[in-house]
Structure 1
Amino acid sequence: MPGVLIAEDDEDIALILTRLLKRAGYTVQHAPDGQRAFELAVAGRPDVVLTDLGMPRMDGLELTRAIREHPELRDTPIVMLSGHLHPGDNGPVRTGVCVVLLKPCPNDKLREVVNDLAELGAHGHSGADSGCPARWPVSA
């Protein structure tokens, strides 16, 4: 089973995301902050990382940078799910996020994006031939 690491500080949202992705057939790990998410990513090598933007100890952009700088994680697909971004804010994509979704995001759209990235697998995140979809934002 493909594995998804969820970095989300809101326990209620994390529980909903965990249930949704487990029902879709994923093995799911949850971290309540970016630092713990990075530690779990290094230890477990998830197939996809799903991160919030605003979190304690390391926010979603810092987590993305840390993953992109790690030699064994740099090609991991990353989805940012946030309610704190505004359309046109290219910070997440410039940092290396593959897809940005705005909260609230329909469950079927979230499943579709995670499935697409899990199928795509590890891929580069810079240059025209990177393979990264780099979509922002994905509409519902």
Structure 2
Amino acid sequence: MAVVLIAEDDEDIALILTRLLKRAGNTVLRAPDGQAALEMAVKHRPDVVLTDLGMPRMDGIELTRAIREDPHLSDTPIAMLSGHLHPGDTTPYAAGVCAVLLKPCPNDKLRAVVQDLVDRGGHGHTGADCPANSPVTA
């Protein structure tokens, strides 16, 4: 069973994501902002981080960069779920995000992306290891 850390400031969205990922067999941790998510990641070392882009105290890009800079967390797969990005935007990938999903995202696609990252496990975030230079597509 994988541990997924959700960083999402919208309580309703966080609740939906938690239910969805728990039903898929994951253990889910929740943080209401990027700073709290970073603290939880350091403490619990999740298998995957699923982050929103726009959050208080530390946004999803800042959270991703902080995780990539921590030697104990740097290989953690990160997916970003956002309603504020546009197709073709490479900003999340440049920060080290492994996958970007645009809201609203179909449940089956979200589950599949998280499972793919769980299956991939910890990995480098350059070259063929991770789609770090890919544009946002969906």
Gaps of 5+ in 2: none
Alignment of 1:1-140 (within 5 A): 1-126=1-126, 128-129=127-128, 131-134=129-132, 135-139=134-138
Gaps of 5+ in 1: none
The alpha carbon displacement at 1:80 in A equals 0.2
The 2-side partners of 1:94 and 1:137 are apart by 11
Please, what TM-score do these two structures have when normalized by structure 2? 0.96
The 1-side partners of 2:136 and 2:2 are apart by 24
SS in 1 for 2:49: strand
- Partners of 1:99 and 1:138 within 8 A in 2: no
Aligned amino acid, residue 97 of structure 1: V
The 2-side partners of 1:77 and 1:110 are apart by 14
- Partners of 1:52 and 1:82 within 8 A in 2: yes
Q: How many residues align?
A: 137
Percent of counterpart pairs with the same letter? 74
The 1-side partners of 2:131 and 2:15 are apart by 27
The alpha carbon displacement at 1:87 in A equals 1.2
The alpha carbon displacement at 1:95 in A equals 0.4
Residues 100-127 of structure 1: per-residue CA shift (max 9 Å, x gap): 000000000000000000000000012x
